[in-house]
Each structure stands twice: as structure tokens, then as C-alpha cells.
Amino acid sequence: MRRIMTITLPIVLAVAAFWGTYGVLQSPRYALYQIGKALKDGDSAIFLAYVDVPRIIANQRPAAADARANEAEENLRRAIQGVMDVVVGANPQAFHAQMAQIMNQLETDRLPSPFLIAYAASIQQNGDRALVVLSDPQSGDRLRLGMLRQNDQWRVVHVDQRDVRDLLRKYAAQTAG
């Protein structure tokens, strides 16, 4: 009996570890971890593998064009619109080079851990689609993301326009004041 348990227990643990790892690697949380890690490391190739930036920017264009407020926000809106025009119209090599430059300029010391991003997110999954809510309970900020599983990989394909607008207004107010 003892010999059977000695053989069975490691096999059961190995199978459980395999399926647990497989489940994590196939989940939206793993994609969020990879996005956070890419931001921390400044790796634009991994970031672009998990975030469909041109699609997100094309979806954000109407919201940025409609945002009207004070002069600081208007300047921010024009800058964002200029970036959108460049990104949406860029060829793939120029786009990847531009993303690499942007990622190298990020201040990553204020970013949370990739594990924190992945496991603090609220995820509602429905088949090949997922709604992800990243929120900061202290400031009340939130960012809602739409994810889609394509070719067995989760990608961010949508960012809520209202959340982006609110975060940009808050950022503009902090940098202006």
C-alpha cells in the first residue's frame, strides 16, 4: 500500500501541476501578466503580441475627437489625435519602431508588479471574450478592457472610451497643476 501511494502521489501531483499550468497559460490573466511584464521591461514586441494597438486607437478616435474642455485638455486631445493619425497610417515597421521608442521612454518605477496587474483584475469571461476591469480602490480610477481569444492567445482589443477620457482628464489636471 505504501509503495502504491509513493508512486501514485507524484503522478497525481504532476498531472495537477500540468493542468493547472495549462489553465493559467490559456487564461486572460496570463495575457495581463505578459502585458504588465512587457511594460516593466520595455518590450514592445511582447506588448504588441497581446495588445491590438491599431484597433484600439481606431476605436478611440471618435472619443478623442469629441472631447472638448479647457485649453490644456484641448492641447492633450490634439497631441493624442496626432499620435493616432501617425499610428493608424503607419507602415508596420515604422509602427513597431515607434512603439519601441514609446515603451523605452515609460517611467516604469511607478507601475505595479505584473503579478499584481494579473491577479487584481476583475475578469468576466464568456467563451472567447472577456471583460477586464483594472481598478484602483484608493483613487477610484478604473480601466475597462475588452479581450478576445484569437489563435489560442488572449489579446486586448478594446479599451473603454469613457475610462480613457476620465484618466486623461485626471492626468492633464495633475500635470497642469
d(CA 25, CA 144): 22
Q: What is the pLDDT of residue 83?
A: 63
Q: How many CA atoms lie less than 13 Å away from 80 in the CB half-sphere? A: 22
pLDDT in tens, the chain (177 residues): 778 888 898 899 999 999 988 888 889 999 999 999 998 888 888 988 999 888 887 776 555 445 445 555 666 666 666 666 665 565 666 777 777 777 777 777 777 888 888 888 999 999 999 999 998 888 888 999 999 998 889 999 999 988 888 887 887 777 776
Q: What's the predicted TM-score (pTM) here?
A: 0.74
d(CA 36, CA 108): 10
Does residue 1 sit in helix, strand or coil? coil
Alpha carbon 129 to chain centroid distance? 15
Q: What is the pLDDT of residue 124?
A: 95
CA torsion, ordered 141, 150, 108, 177, to nearest 10 deg: -30
d(CA 115, CA 117): 5
Angle at 110 between CA 171 and CA 106, to 5 degrees: 75
| Domain range enclosing 153 | 2-176
d(CA 47, CA 26): 17
User: Where are the strands (E) in the chain, listed by range?
Assistant: 122-126, 129-135, 142-150, 153-159
| Residue 2 grid cell | 505504501
Report DSSP state, residue 111: S
Distance between first and last Cα of the chain: 73
Q: What is the pLDDT of residue 72?
A: 57
Could you give the strand order of the β-sheet that contains 142-150, starting from the edge strand earlier in sequence? 122-126, 129-135, 142-150, 153-159
How many domains does one find in the chain?
1
